[in-house]
Structure 1
Amino acid sequence: MGLEQVVHLRRARDHMDAHYADPLKVGDLAAVAGFSRYHFVREFRVAFGETPAAYLSRRRVERAMDLLAHANLTVTEVCMVVGFSSLGSFSRRFRELVGCSPSEYRSRTSPPVIPGCIVWAWARPRGATLDKQVPGDGA
């Protein structure tokens, strides 16, 4: 495989990284690389060790791991945000790559969720008085 082919394959891989949540088709990715569909899949596997579909789903799962650990989204919302079309395929691929379900991963990696009412109660100032008169209050 020549250097020029690798450059074109990287262009397609970069396109997948930038648009991982979009519904990407092999034909469109092949066009980005300037290859036919079948030649693209074959050369992508040789260059990167996995098919374009496997690479894309792995990148989506990596992004989902971050969202599950840090975002206040349901597993279904994360599934859709990262570009999977069904919760079943997302959960299956997630378990294949990570070794546990998305819900298990979330419970292992994120701190417990604190209800908003508790946060507001603890964040409210206690016993604070206004030292200065507010303009226009009539006093």
Structure 2
Amino acid sequence: MSSIPAPRLDELARLRRVRDRIDREHAQPLDVAALARGVHMSAGHLSRQFRLAYGESPYAYLMTRRIERAQALLRRGDLSVTDVCLTVGFSSLGTFSTRFSELVGMAPSVYRQWAAHDMEGVPACLTKMVTRPVRNREAPRPATQLV
């Protein structure tokens, strides 16, 4: 069994910079290699240490940030699903819809309808907490209704 050493304090500071950059620039084209270059690490080392520190890969963290932002824009209701897709940094509507469904458990268009109907009047702070994306493909499957 191989053991990955825990990140050192200086590495933790660099990992925080990567996480902060993802939070700030989530809509920009980001890849692990570019993020790693920005903190003078190899892509593999960054990925391993980021997962160790934060429980998920830099790519998964980026996808979660994009989907969270997409949820907020879809709840607003003034942009099309395609516009939301492009605004949060996806270049493919298919990839966006697939990733959104994996993390949220429903398609973006269904989410917008659900949010407009079921989340109306709920304060934004509670809405964000209740609708936070589930990581690692753990979104529950919608229950089928028998007629």
State the TM bucket, normalised to the shorter chain.
0.7 to 0.9
Q: Choose 1 or 2 for highest CA Rg.
A: 1
Q: Distance in 1 between matches of 2:15 and 2:113?
A: 37
Given the two structures, how large is their TM-score scaled by the length of structure 1? 0.76
Contact 2:50-2:57 at 8 Å conserved across structures:
yes
The number of residue pairs the alignment matches comes to 111
Point out where structure 2 has 5 or more consecutive residues left out of the alignment.
Answer: 1-6, 118-147
Point out where structure 1 has 5 or more consecutive residues left out of the alignment.
Answer: 112-139
Q: Distance in 2 between matches of 1:87 and 1:81?
A: 11
Match of 1:64 in 2: 70
Deviation, 1:37, is: 1.2
Q: Which has the higher contact order (CA 8 A, sep 6+)?
A: 2
Q: 2:115 aligns with which of 109, 116, 124?
A: 109
User: Given residue 84 of structure 2, which amino acid in structure 1 is its aligned partner?
Assistant: V
Superposition misfits of 4+ residues, deviation over 6 angstroms = none
Match of 2:96 in 1: 90
Contact 2:28-2:89 at 8 Å conserved across structures:
yes
Given the two structures, how large is their TM-score scaled by the length of structure 2? 0.72
The percentage of counterpart residues that share the same residue type is 50
Match of 1:73 in 2: 79
1:30-49 equivalences in 2 (<5 Å): 30-49=36-55
Deviation, 1:2, is: 1.3
Q: 1:19 aligns with which of 25, 38, 63?
A: 25
User: Given residue 17 of structure 1, which amino acid in structure 2 is its aligned partner?
Assistant: D
